[in-house]
Amino acid sequence: MPTLTYLGIEVLRLPFIRATSLGHEVLHNWWGNGVYPDYALGNWSEGLTTFMADYAYKEREGPEAAREMRRGWLRDFAALAPGQDSPLTTFTSRTHGATQIVGYNKAAMVFLMLRDLLGRDMFDRGLHAFWREQRFRIASWADLQRAFETVSGRDLHFFFDQWLKRAGAPTVHLAEAKHSNSDSGNVMAVTVEQGTPEYRLRVPIAIQTDSGEEFRTLDLESARQTFTLNLRGRPLEVILDPDLRIFRRLRPDEAPPILRQVMVDRTTVTVLLAESGEARDAAQMLAMKLQNRAPKLVVADKLPEAPSVVIGLKDQVDAWLAKHQLPGRPEIVDGKGSAQAWTVSRADGITLAVVSARDAASLAAVTRPLPHYGRQSYVIFDGAKVVGRGSWPTRAQAVKVQ
């Protein structure tokens, strides 16, 4: 039944569905059930539907809401362990968290970058052409590429190739910025680096000057490139991709850890601080629910050499953190609720998820809810009820101008 998408009445009753999934499912009448994806070559329909429904809602709400959605996508991607993602051409449907992060979110951001590259008008014309040519047919990413190339008259081979056939994401690094004066005024040389394989990227930067902010877009193609810019004011600081418009792997200081990255990492080990009794049983059950597998237990007296879930009662947790010279309980969770969970970045780059509870019953109470809060950096529970949560603040990549 082309163009027909069902949503069960039980689902439709849920309070948030009408503002989120309903629009997404309606749009599938076009993308997925009007033009059918060629699954063998990658399912493009979830990314396009996410971009034109879920993300469009956020854009309608305002630039801040849209940026927060992009930030969430990039942060989720940064929380994937290396090797957990795969190229978009291999995505068929959502089977676990990592496939959503790539098949839905990365793909949606690919459409955003394409729209930034072509302009909104050209992008819309490309989509209209795709619909006219492909409706009620099976179409692939290559057909999308051809539609956008035909209307824009541009060769988009490099764009689709790098974003669809490669796993992972580029890493972009602002290396340095130097100011000099010339006859024409203020000149700045800014050097940008990227990892391998190299991508062709349009990198937005913001430049803080003594007479306000200026914006430029740099066409980055190689591993290290220096761009010379003429500016109106005297430059003070350069900020990389301030609006988070390119799909890239955020650096650890740009994306502080969230609970999920410890939960999904296959190398994660578990430290249970209670040695026996009810607290031990509750901790073990929680460790299993968090990781969706039997936890790999390690002893408490050594600091693990892998990402770790650390679970215990309050005094045990505080003593363990102190013994291993790790940062103590963060102020924002301290003394609040009956149980708390938070992430810790160790100096050596390894991430911990710490769960601390007042007693065994408080630990048991979070077994069911805590796995649903993987996108947070910290969560505070009173019994099974969440009374506080959030993520550690992100920091934009910036460099002072010499």
* Contact positions vs Zn ion (CB under 5 A): 46
Q: Which residues pair with 386 in a beta bridge?
A: 381
Three-state DSSP at 139 gives strand
CA dist., res. 263 & res. 289, Å (int): 9
Compute φ and ψ for 162, nearest 5 degrees: -70, -30
Nearer to Zn ion, 48 or 240 (CB): 48
Nearer to Zn ion, 46 or 214 (CB): 46
Nearer to Zn ion, 101 or 309 (CB): 101
Tokens, residue 83: 């090797």
Nearer to Zn ion, 46 or 143 (CB): 46
Given its phi and psi angles, is residue 70 left (phi above 0), alpha (psi -120 to 50 degrees) or beta?
A: alpha
CA dist., res. 215 & res. 242, Å (int): 10
**Nearest CA among 227, 312, 331 for reference residue 273:** 312
Nearer to Zn ion, 108 or 313 (CB): 108
CB-based closest residue to Zn ion: 46
We find the least distance from the C-beta atom of residue 46 to Zn ion, in angstroms, to be 5
Nearer to Zn ion, 32 or 295 (CB): 32
We find the least distance from the C-beta atom of residue 295 to Zn ion, in angstroms, to be 32
We find the least distance from the C-beta atom of residue 131 to Zn ion, in angstroms, to be 17
Give the strand order in the sheet containing 185-194.
Answer: 172-182, 185-194, 224-231
Tokens, residue 131: 């619909």
CA dist., res. 225 & res. 223, Å (int): 7
Nearer to Zn ion, 25 or 214 (CB): 25
Nearer to Zn ion, 29 or 171 (CB): 29
Which residue is it, tokens 């007693």?
Answer: 359
CA dist., res. 287 & res. 347, Å (int): 24
* Cis bond upstream, residue 197 (ω within 30): yes
Element (H, E) at 112: helix 107-118
We find the least distance from the C-beta atom of residue 68 to Zn ion, in angstroms, to be 21
We find the least distance from the C-beta atom of residue 11 to Zn ion, in angstroms, to be 13
We find the least distance from the C-beta atom of residue 44 to Zn ion, in angstroms, to be 12
We find the least distance from the C-beta atom of residue 45 to Zn ion, in angstroms, to be 7
Residue 157 CB partners (closer than 8 Å, separation 6+): 145
CA atoms within 13 A on the CB side of 268: 28
Q: Is 247 in contact with 111 (CB distance < 8 Å)?
A: no
We find the least distance from the C-beta atom of residue 71 to Zn ion, in angstroms, to be 21
